[in-house]
Amino acid sequence: MARLPVLPGPRPNWLKIKIPAPEVVAEVHALMRDKKLVTVCEEARCPNLNECWGVHRTATFMLMGDICTRHCGFCSVGKGKPGELDPEEPQRVAEAVATLKLKFAVVTSVNRDDLPDGGAAHFAKTIEWIHSVNQGCGVEVLIPDFRGDEAALDAVLAAHPEVLNHNVETVPHLYKRVRPDADYEQSMTVLSRAAKHRDRVSADMCTKSGIMVGLGETAEQVLELMKDWRAASVDIATLGQYLPPTQVHLPLQRYVEPAEFDMYRRKGLEMGFQRVESGPLVRSSYHAKESFEGVPV
């Protein structure tokens, strides 16, 4: 059994969560098991699971299994040698989107550095299946860096996602500790290439990225990262509070006050982002549809 994380004092009131509609949560959970699908909501122990499943009837689908080839210090997803790809998974995801009657679907994955294309073709098939089965449904893909493989990124972009999301997760200063198998500049290059594709051939697509705060970064470092995002033409930014899933994960350094999150939102809009989701409970896919459409939440 995982031990409870050591936190810097009791959880503040702004991080306490109500649990709505447990019967709908159970219904969505049953659907995921019936379709043999994995959600990042469960694997990452997202604090918004009950709201998203119980109120909005949304879930973030996680492709290619529940074992990751990387070793990020913040993540509760299993690490090790992944299994074989399931060629029928893209269709099952599309069917689950139809059952939930979603108008906007979010799809992510574990890192699959064992695959030649990092799983890019699997992402592309999933986007195509969702669009085919669910006319008018938007798709956001939260992709890995594909080890900088430009052809892999192009394969995903060619499937026409409405949002191309790639998280940098933290400030450059903390990368070796937080994301030891990743490279900050490589992630920024992924975002920049996606934005150039948007500008050339897909004007309606948005690019997006996110980070966690509370890992030891300073406000100045966060603002510098946000400037890097804008230099890479990122449209939508997400900033949320890091909460360690267990005691063996990276320790939480501080709870970030709501006023600081508000400052990031204000500064981000001044920088030119189309949308900045910034708050203690914000996660990468939280209010994804509203962020893409510019709907107030």
Residue 122 counted as domain residue: yes
Q: Could you tell me if residue 10 is inside a domain?
A: no
pLDDT value of position 173: 97
Output the pLDDT for position 46: 55
Q: Within 13 Å of residue 34, how many CA atoms lie on the same side as its CB?
A: 9
Q: Is the residue at 138 inside a domain? A: yes
For the domain that residue 48 is a member of, what is the CATH number? 3.20.20.70
* Residue 93, φ and ψ in degrees, nearest 5: -60, -45
* Alpha carbon distance 152, 141 (integer Å): 14
Give the three-class secondary structure for 223.
helix
Q: In angstroms, how far is CA 288 from the centroid of its own chain?
A: 10
In a domain, 7, yes or no: no
Q: What does the DSSP assignment read for 122-177?
A: HHHHHHHHHHHHSTT-EEEEE---GGG-HHHHHHHHTT--SEEE---BS-GGGHHH
Inside any domain, residue 101: yes
- Tell me how far apart the alpha carbons of residues 285 and 216 are, in angstroms, rounded to a whole number: 23
- Mean pLDDT of successive 10-residue stretches along the chain, which has 297 residues: 55 65 61 63 52 56 91 87 95 90 89 97 98 94 97 98 97 96 98 98 96 97 98 97 89 96 98 96 73 64
Cβ neighbourhood burial of 105 (10 Å; 0-12, 13-18, 19+): buried
Residue 6 in any domain: the answer is no
Containing structural domain, residue 222: 19-293
- Does 13 map to a domain? no
Separation of alpha carbons 216 and 106, rounded Å: 29
CB neighbours of residue 55 within 10 Å = 13
Look at residue 3 in the predicted model and tell me its pLDDT.
47
**Confidence at residue 291, expressed as pLDDT on a 0 to 100 scale:** 64
Residue 87 lies in a domain: yes
State the total domains in the chain. 1
d(CA 22, CA 187): 37
- Closest Cα to residue 223, out of 233, 215, 213, 282? 213
Beta strands 206-213 and 236-241, pairing class: parallel
